[in-house]
Structure 1
Amino acid sequence: MLDVAAVAEVLLREGTPDLPSDRRDLFCLLIALHDLGKIGAQFRAMLRAGLKQNARHWQVTEAWLREEAMEDLLCERLGGTYLALRPLVAAIAGHHGGPPRDTAESQWRMRLDAGQAAAQDARCFVAACFDLWPRASLAGINEAEAMILSWRLSGLTVVADWVGSNPDWFPAAEPPTSAATYLAETRLRAAYAVEKAGLVASVPSATRLFDFALRAMQEAAASIPLRDGPTLAIIEDETGAGKTEAALLLAQRMLLASKGRGLYLALPTMATADAMFRRARDVARRIFVTPPSLTLAHGRAGLSVEFREVMARSGWSEDVICGPWLADSRRRALLADVGVGTIDQALLGILPTRFATLRIHALASKILIVDEVHELGNPYLATELETLLRLHAMGGGSAILLTATLPLEQRARLSRAFEEGAGRAFVEDMDPAYPVLSIPGGAAKRSFPDTVSPKGPVKIARLGSIDEGVALIAQASASGAACVWVRNAVDDAIASVEALRAAGVEADLLHARYAFADRKRIEAAALAAFGPEGGRRRNDGRGKVIVSTQVLEMSLDYDFDVMVSDLAPVAALIQRAGRLWRHMVRRPAAGRPVPAPVLHVVAPDPDRPADTRWLAEVQPRGAWVYELAEQWRTAEVLFRAGEIVAPGGLRALIEAVHGDDRVPVPDTLAAAEEVALGDAYAEAGLARMNIVKIAAGYRDGGGAADDRDYPTRLGQETRALLLTRRAPSGLVPWVEGESRAEAELLSEVSARATQFRDLALPDQSAPEIAAFTEGWPDWKRVNLTVCPVEEGGAICEGLRYDGNLGLLFQPRGRGDEP
């Protein structure tokens, strides 16, 4: 217990140097009591004889500390009330991932089972802790503040317990002569352990981050005045404008101003997180004086070659590092100086999941940078993000939001949540200026010299049919143009590839319905073909062609000459158009095979009478991916405008489709919009039900559910298949890996659960599958369906797999996944 408290001392000294000494000592004293429940006959019998306990030790910890005499002692010595004490006691007791929820009667039974001798010993240890931290005080903490503090204290206890329980750093020792003597000795071990765990914060550096001349938004980030206290900054600019670099410049200034000890860059998807990790690796070293720890936090982080390289050189490199303790889990990854991952890893901190408070604690010391905020605009995600920002500000954290297409009303909601969390009055800002760098309650930069993107306006052209799209791409490719066709559904994308190939066009395909290994291979090939240094022409001089779903539109650095897209909400189309004529310095207009950037949108005429089948004529499967009213409204606004003028014209387009004063839809679509609005209210309501109840404190407002029980995103249920092939030894994963576990991860593929409804998938009790899954935990058997793939790709009737086309349903029904 003193090992863990000593670790907490180091972590508090590192992470909260401004915390008053009496508050710091209070936290350490309470954390020293986290395993008080191990004092007792039942726990001793479990250790010595393997007997089952009636209650877990962490539950007994709260039982001891909620005893009437013990509460009186604590309140008397600490100078506070039991209403302030109890939330903090629950926080340190619930250090195994969830809060204690036992009744007074059950706690009485726990104390009885522990025995009278244990009661005396527990009081003796508490008394000893008063002498070890004599400045500890509850004075001035009321019940409401204690409820808020309980979230942070719980997370700190978890981290300290994980480090302090490591036998390599804290080996068994002879009984000390006194508690004070032992604490003095273990403080030295704690300092070493925290350093070995990678939790000693690197000192921020004022070194120039970038060698290139800064753009206007980046100059603004480097000079805008920062406000006192927790700070939120919102960067709104067109795609490809260098928002990430602007955010890093601003984050460096926040670090130097002691607004955080590190960074967490939150991305919408694993693919975008991987891409950001590559960029962050190159600049993170410059942000700090000493080599910072850098981690990748998502479910497939171990498959990242770049992350593996960082882990391999830890311990000797003068570059970024990541030791094994931090890399061991996604939760710990958030504790690194610089973390890159999905927004989901952060959002799990505000859901009632196990070890959610660890995430809260880890993020509290970080500048939270959320990229592609507009992608979090659906009601469920938006409500979660508001709560995350509120809680982050409550803990003293600062944040930077990046977006190209955020509606003003959503910006206001996010700003309000942060300001309220920081305990400040919110002043609404609905200024429509764009681009803009704004700090709610502080300064804003709204005047920029560049009014038109270097590529000029992107013209809009409507295509009335799929055949027109095929003909256009065939002609453009023949002239040497790099082409992309963005479809809204996987099955439509596959159909377009087949149509292009039938027309003599060699086209590649990118979507989310591949085995993970094949998707990584295809993404790497796409980046090599269409990335900043890509070779966009084939050997015969024709332009390369790729058909993709909307996985292409988020944070991926592609540059195309010609783009065809399905109709989608205007925010999505702006994102897609951001990959059109993107790198004008590397590839100026004079060197491109087409005279100007044009976004060709496959859509019916919005002037035609519109009903619920209006869009299905040109999007057989993808017409239901987005709200029909939003898509009609986009067609109405965009085709009348005739162009996308970035950055100056983006705000008007966004507000006309997504804002409070959006264009009205025809009466024939009014009912569909009403249904969509009802669904939106329901999603927001579900989010409010799911998220933790901050004001109720950790004990009553938190939870210990599995991550899978509380989704960070809503969507149609998916089903995961593990593809296998037959070998002489039996079934083996579809692709090879450095280990069996890695090979299985690389062989997974997912699709909507409803698409498998009428398929006779392989019997999981078949001998070869039973042999393959021997030793699997129950959760893995529930979540993965093992599917042997025959020669030619057949899995079962109606389903096969192709490494270049993905998972194929035959005949294909209405698809709607990206």
Structure 2
Amino acid sequence: MDMLVWPGKSASDLSETEHPAVYHMLDVAAVAERLIEPFGFDRQLRDALILLVGLHDLGKISDSFRDMLRDGVPQSFRHWELTEALLFELDPVLVPQIGGDPWPRQTLYAAVAGHHGRPPKRNMGGLAYSGRRSRDYRSALDAVGSGLDDARQAVGAFCALWPDACLDGLGEDRATALSWWLPGLCTAADWIGSNTRWFGPQAAGPGLAEYLARARDIAGKAVDDAGLASGKARDTQLFDFSLRPMQGACAEVPLTDGPMLAVIEDETGAGKTEAALLLAQRMLLAGKGRGLFFALPTMATADAMFRRAAGSVGRLFDRHTTLTLAHGRAGLSVDFRDLVNDGPRGEEDATCTDWLAENRRRALLADVGVGTIDQALLSVLPVRFQALRHFGLSSKILIVDEVHELGEPYIGAELAALLRMHRAAGGSAILLTATLPLAQRKRLLEIYGGLSDSPAYPALTVAGAASPIALSQAAGPRGAVRVQRLSRADEAVDLLAESAQHGAACVWVRNAVDDAIAAVEMLHARGVEAHLLHARFALCDRKRIEAEVLARVGKDGQGREGFVLVGTQVLESSLDLDFDVMVSDLAPMAALIQRAGRLWRHMDLRPAATRPVPAPVLHVLSPDPVQVADDRWLHGTLDRGAWVYPVADQWRTADVLFRVGQIEAPSGLRALIEPVHGDEAGLLPEVLQAAEVRAEGEGAAARGHAAQNIVDLAAGYRAGGQATDDASYPTRLGEAQRNLVLARREAGALRPWAGDKGDDAWAMSEVAARLTRLDALPLPDQSAPEIAAVTRDWPEWKCAEYRLCPVAEDGTICAGLRYDAGLGLIFGDNS
């Protein structure tokens, strides 16, 4: 037979041409040539990797695949499983060309076979056992059937097209690292090479060399159109303002050789993001990456960073910079959609292609990505397309913001694994923080071979450098923030009511949503028009409230006089807000420092003389740390908020903070952080020690859970990778959530709560709360005709995880649950 007769894709209709498998394989190889070029492999290894990528669909040259494609005959082996078997069988054809040792070849064979997001797992034996092949191996060759000779011919022909391909000198460690990277390259190339927008069906005819030349011409345009044609870093001025001390340090710090890790520690509002961009630009110019990925702790912080990045990253490269937003609700971001739909307005504006925007997994392939840390952490979990994420990140300088929030045992172990994998692929990283404990910083620096015990703050620390750069500790125009304890919630209400009367912009940050709702109701009872913001609003209402809050107390807010806001942790980092008076529930020191960063924030716009209060004061609702009768010490003062954080951290924070009496940034921050979150943590009252022991046990269990979940990098992709659903391997531990989709009754039918929002209306009507709490209630029957009329088109997974909930005119959803556009989701039992 002729190897061109084997189909690679089914025709969409009877009149369309079947695209031969070998032509498709050459399409993908041509794309891979474009994608791999900037990575700097030596020519022989580069060509060997391209050759193997080209052979990724060798298993389509088989009776099994042809019969499935043309006649719908079920397959006992998927075509990519047959690819591995054929590469094993035809290894003697490849060896004279590519050489190398058996184990590295076997490792890379499995890597390219696993290009559909999962590694092959059939028992094929190994190259070293060719004399006694496994049952699966023999069955796979039976499935290949009459295609074997043509597959052999194809391998020989492909070898002739890349005559310099060679694996000689490739050791096991390098092969293992490549085994995680190569499937991602292959997937990206396959997705582009399979797209008929660029690679339409071609009838059998041209020889392989002629066809490859044609495919190479198309591949250049395809890669460019997709948004993956890497530009070169530009040595241009990013910002037109005078640099702050940390920004100046980042513009001048010597760069180390090879993969590099830098830790930027400075107070909230010090311009760390711009400092990171200045350093990242220098690292790009030094060849330490070809793009950036900003990893943020939440979707809200990612959205905020995307808005900031869009204004500056377009100047980083010598062509239009592609910029994407990567998280589960990126499609609902107006800023992101405007970028996709409108394109760049000028030469230095970022853009985003339709191809990149189609799938959040592709977001990591853009020049610059902004997303949640979860999108990066999925590259070290055994989930489908984990290797694609790793490939996308491997060319990026990874910038992790608010890294102190990733110190919890489970996510901290994931972050360490991510940095290890990133470094192994040659990647560099920058970590940003205001409140990182020294012990956590030490663990992170060690991953890149660095060590520093310096307590200097603010500081720029580069792993492997002689010592960190210590910066001036001079306080800014705000000065020290005095701390005052409030012992009862009604004292907080009195303070906020009186301050608002005098024209102050006020905020009360609470630890729990139910407590925030209770606080607003107390303020309303006092005649104070308080606003509320937390995570238990339908998305449409949350975005509306956020816009209103930013318009009043944002950086350029207007009409701030007497404005009162009650919120939860969403206020700590996601929104750039500025208040005159602040009350906060007692929280761990790092969180309180973050919250205090929203107090008297923009002193250049609102100097002290213009404020309605004489000085910045953080009022903390807390019991007296000197009087601890039992392990429920906190519960008499806080309600649900007493359960949110470990009591040991809470007591140590109160003990240190009320003794010191102030937060002085930046000079005093290290002395506040270490006694609570660091190795200097002091002894607890005896009645709280058992609670700390329990917390330490839970932390150890979480680290053990992470160790079981994180892929075994040393095992390589075939043994260590999986194709599990993302939900089975969470990036964070915590109580499971249930998603509700809220609806109104209009004209005899259910309509989205969000109203007229087009295709996004139902998504904008979603709200989430703790699963155990919701499932204990009599939620609306999902089989009711009016609900089934909406949900009948939902996919099976959504029907299992979501509940459509009509909201009555009085807000009732069911007994014990109601919704209010100004208060959010309210549990009537307060349980």
Q: Of 795, 805, 823, which aligns to 1:777?
A: 795
Q: Distance in 2 between matches of 1:99 and 1:610?
A: 57
Q: Would you say 1:232 and 2:261 are equivalent positions?
A: yes
Q: Of 190, 208, 219, which aligns to 1:161?
A: 190
Q: Distance in 2 between matches of 1:751 and 1:780?
A: 16
* Residue 466 (structure 1) aligns with: 489
SS at match of 1:452: coil
Q: Distance in 2 between matches of 1:152 and 1:427?
A: 25
- One-letter identity of the residue aligned with 2:394: A
* Residue 504 (structure 1) aligns with: 527
Q: Of 730, 748, 752, which aligns to 1:733?
A: 752
SS at match of 1:461: strand
Q: Would you say 1:11 and 2:35 are equivalent positions?
A: yes
SS at match of 1:334: helix
- 610-619 or 484-493, which moves further after superposition? 610-619
Q: Distance in 1 between matches of 2:629 and 2:179?
A: 54
* Residue 695 (structure 1) aligns with: 714
Q: Would you say 1:281 and 2:310 are equivalent positions?
A: yes
Q: Would you say 1:84 and 2:104 are equivalent positions?
A: yes
SS at match of 1:614: coil
Q: Distance in 1 between matches of 2:466 and 2:288?
A: 17
- 143-152 or 493-502, which moves further after superposition? 143-152
* Residue 17 (structure 2) aligns with: none
Render the CA deviation track for 1:599-658: whole Å, top value 9, x for unaligned.
100000000024221101111111010000110010001000001111011111111001
Q: Distance in 1 between matches of 2:168 and 2:771?
A: 55
How many positions carry a matched residue from both structures? 796
* Residue 422 (structure 1) aligns with: none
Q: Would you say 1:96 and 2:116 are equivalent positions?
A: yes
Q: Would you say 1:551 and 2:570 are equivalent positions?
A: yes
Render the CA deviation track for 1:430-473: whole Å, top value 9, x for unaligned.
11100000101025553323422321111110001001100111
* Residue 106 (structure 1) aligns with: 136
* Residue 11 (structure 2) aligns with: none
Q: Distance in 2 between matches of 1:777 and 1:281?
A: 34
Query: Superposed, which structure 2 residues align to 1:273-312 within 5 Å?
Result: 273-312=302-341
Query: Any conservation in 1 of the 2:450–2:462 contact (CA below 8 Å)?
Result: no
- One-letter identity of the residue aligned with 2:370: V
What displacement does 1:176 show?
3.7
* Residue 715 (structure 1) aligns with: 734
Q: Distance in 1 between matches of 2:529 and 2:757?
A: 33
* Residue 53 (structure 1) aligns with: 75
Query: Any conservation in 2 of the 1:458–1:645 contact (CA below 8 Å)?
Result: yes
Q: Distance in 2 between matches of 1:747 and 1:108?
A: 54
- In percent, how many aligned pairs have the same letter? 58
What displacement does 1:135 show?
1.0
What displacement does 1:355 show?
0.5
Query: Any conservation in 2 of the 1:75–1:85 contact (CA below 8 Å)?
Result: no
Query: Any conservation in 2 of the 1:737–1:746 contact (CA below 8 Å)?
Result: no
Q: Distance in 1 between matches of 2:636 and 2:97?
A: 76
Q: Distance in 2 between matches of 1:611 and 1:457?
A: 33
* Residue 6 (structure 2) aligns with: none
Query: Any conservation in 2 of the 1:224–1:444 contact (CA below 8 Å)?
Result: no
In structure 2, relative to structure 1, the CA distance for the partners of 1:7 and 1:63 (3 Å cut) is same
- One-letter identity of the residue aligned with 2:91: E
Render the CA deviation track for 1:642-694: whole Å, top value 9, x for unaligned.
01111011111111001012111011111000000000011111111101111
Using structure 2 for the length normalisation, give the TM-score: 0.94
Render the CA deviation track for 1:161-209: whole Å, top value 9, x for unaligned.
0000011101112324421111111111111110110101122222211
Q: Distance in 2 between matches of 1:177 and 1:237?
A: 62
- One-letter identity of the residue aligned with 2:495: L
Q: Of 797, 802, 805, which aligns to 2:815?
A: 797
* Residue 393 (structure 1) aligns with: 423
* Residue 197 (structure 1) aligns with: 226
Render the CA deviation track for 1:681-716: whole Å, top value 9, x for unaligned.
111111111011111111111110111111111111
SS at match of 1:211: coil
* Residue 366 (structure 2) aligns with: 336
- One-letter identity of the residue aligned with 2:588: P
What displacement does 1:427 show?
4.2
Query: Superposed, which structure 2 residues align to 1:529-608 within 5 Å?
Result: 529-537=552-560, 542-608=561-627
Render the CA deviation track for 1:560-590: whole Å, top value 9, x for unaligned.
1110000010000000011111111111111
SS at match of 2:491: helix
- One-letter identity of the residue aligned with 1:94: G
Unaligned segments of structure 1, at least 5 residues: 420-425, 814-818
Q: Distance in 1 between matches of 2:438 and 2:116?
A: 41
Query: Any conservation in 1 of the 2:32–2:53 contact (CA below 8 Å)?
Result: yes
- 235-244 or 281-290, which moves further after superposition? 281-290
Unaligned segments of structure 2, at least 5 residues: 1-24, 125-134
Q: Distance in 2 between matches of 1:210 and 1:91?
A: 43
Q: Distance in 2 between matches of 1:55 and 1:388?
A: 33
Q: Distance in 1 between matches of 2:101 and 2:220?
A: 33
Q: Distance in 1 between matches of 2:105 and 2:746?
A: 62
Q: Distance in 2 between matches of 1:75 and 1:532?
A: 64
* Residue 538 (structure 2) aligns with: 515
Query: Any conservation in 2 of the 1:561–1:593 contact (CA below 8 Å)?
Result: yes
What displacement does 1:384 show?
0.5
Q: Distance in 1 between matches of 2:475 and 2:468?
A: 17
Query: Any conservation in 1 of the 2:93–2:155 contact (CA below 8 Å)?
Result: no
- One-letter identity of the residue aligned with 1:801: Y
Q: Distance in 2 between matches of 1:346 and 1:321?
A: 22
SS at match of 1:66: helix
- One-letter identity of the residue aligned with 1:359: R
SS at match of 1:560: coil
Q: Would you say 1:219 and 2:248 are equivalent positions?
A: yes
Q: Distance in 1 between matches of 2:574 and 2:200?
A: 47
- One-letter identity of the residue aligned with 2:55: L
Query: Any conservation in 2 of the 1:793–1:800 contact (CA below 8 Å)?
Result: yes
- One-letter identity of the residue aligned with 1:7: V
What displacement does 1:735 show?
1.3
Q: Of 456, 463, 470, which aligns to 1:440?
A: 463
Using structure 1 for the length normalisation, give the TM-score: 0.96
Q: Distance in 1 between matches of 2:443 and 2:478?
A: 33
Q: Would you say 1:34 and 2:56 are equivalent positions?
A: yes
* Residue 809 (structure 1) aligns with: 827
* Residue 214 (structure 2) aligns with: 185
Q: Distance in 2 between matches of 1:738 and 1:721?
A: 18
Q: Distance in 1 between matches of 2:571 and 2:159?
A: 59
* Residue 453 (structure 2) aligns with: 430
Moved over 6 A (4+): none
What displacement does 1:306 show?
1.1
Q: Would you say 1:151 and 2:177 are equivalent positions?
A: no
What displacement does 1:736 show?
3.0
* Pairwise CA RMSD: 1.3
* Residue 423 (structure 1) aligns with: none
Q: Distance in 1 between matches of 2:575 and 2:182?
A: 38
* Residue 88 (structure 2) aligns with: 66
* Residue 509 (structure 2) aligns with: 486
Query: Superposed, which structure 2 residues align to 1:591-670 within 5 Å?
Result: 591-670=610-689
Q: Distance in 2 between matches of 1:476 and 1:316?
A: 45
Q: Distance in 2 between matches of 1:554 and 1:790?
A: 35
Query: Any conservation in 1 of the 2:504–2:612 contact (CA below 8 Å)?
Result: yes
SS at match of 1:207: coil
SS at match of 1:470: helix
Q: Distance in 2 between matches of 1:459 and 1:176?
A: 81
Q: Distance in 2 between matches of 1:651 and 1:670?
A: 25
Render the CA deviation track for 1:491-549: whole Å, top value 9, x for unaligned.
00000000011111110000000111111111111111111111253xxxx51000000
What displacement does 1:317 show?
5.3
Q: Distance in 2 between matches of 1:118 and 1:403?
A: 58
Q: Distance in 2 between matches of 1:770 and 1:356?
A: 35
